[in-house]
Amino acid sequence: MIKPLLLAAALLAGCGTSAGSDQTTVTVFAAASLTESFTALEKRFETDNPGVDLRLNFAGSSALAQQLANGAAADVFAAADEKTVAGVAEHLESPAVFATNRLTIAVPRGNPAKITGLADLTRTDVTVVVCAPQVPCGAATRKVAPNLRPASEEQDVKAVLTKVAAGEADAGLVYVTDTRSGKVDAIDFPESAAVVNKYPIALTKQAPNALLARRFVDLVLSQTGQNELVRAGFGKP
């Protein structure tokens, strides 16, 4: 009779292992704004699936989509908007929306420029940074503030947050979830309610480890996953 532990090892081996390791690797491409919540879920997933190494690749959604289009190997793609996922639909299996997010104004701790709302970002004495327009947070910024003239446009929302936290800008438009770190203060503005980003997740059609990848997607969509996302500040789908 095959012992349970040996059977489990055989099943994992059948899924493929990372080079030079006994672990099975599952690669997840995820929007930068998911860094904190997916890192927390990574620990839960690896605990529930011994011998599995969940590798998280965080970046701007548009950059990740381009990597997929160029043939990069990934098991799961989680993006910060539906438009980005639609652009690489031929590479994905049935995307499902798992969270929502909206913009807020990030300012350095103490709000030295005394920002009170969106109108203050047009002041000549205020330096503003935003996401590049091809990134979901940048596309959302263009919708809520089409006349804004930023000092720079960054490749993902974490880069905007870093500049604001370092005092290199008086304000930046980021997601509400990004201000939960405590590195910056947040100034909510009512106009953000008009542009809500929906986050889809999907298996890739060429997923090297589809069975385990499906387990991660299921975790994100489960009550456990949803609780973690809400804790991070995301809205429900």
Q: How far apart are CA 97 and CA 74, in angstroms?
A: 19
Q: 56 pairs with which residues across the strands? A: 28
List the structure tokens of 96.
């499902």
Q: Does the annotation list 199 as a binding residue?
A: no
Q: Does the annotation list 157 as a binding residue?
A: yes
Q: 104 pairs with which residues across the strands? A: 174
> Do residues 164 and 178 touch, judged by C-beta distance below 8 A?
no
Query: Residue 168 carries which side chain, given as an amino acid letter?
Result: E
Q: How far apart are CA 23 and CA 215, in angstroms?
A: 16
For residue 165, give the nearest of 180, 146, 148, 185 by alpha carbon: 185
> Do residues 166 and 109 touch, judged by C-beta distance below 8 A?
no
- Token pair 């998280």 in the structure block, residue: 56
Q: How far apart are CA 181 and CA 178, in angstroms?
A: 6
> Do residues 102 and 81 touch, judged by C-beta distance below 8 A?
no
Q: Does the annotation list 62 as a binding residue?
A: no
For residue 8, give the nearest of 38, 65, 51 by alpha carbon: 51
> Do residues 208 and 24 touch, judged by C-beta distance below 8 A?
no
Give binding residues for molybdate as ranges: 33, 61, 157, 175
Give binding residues as ranges: 33, 61, 157, 175
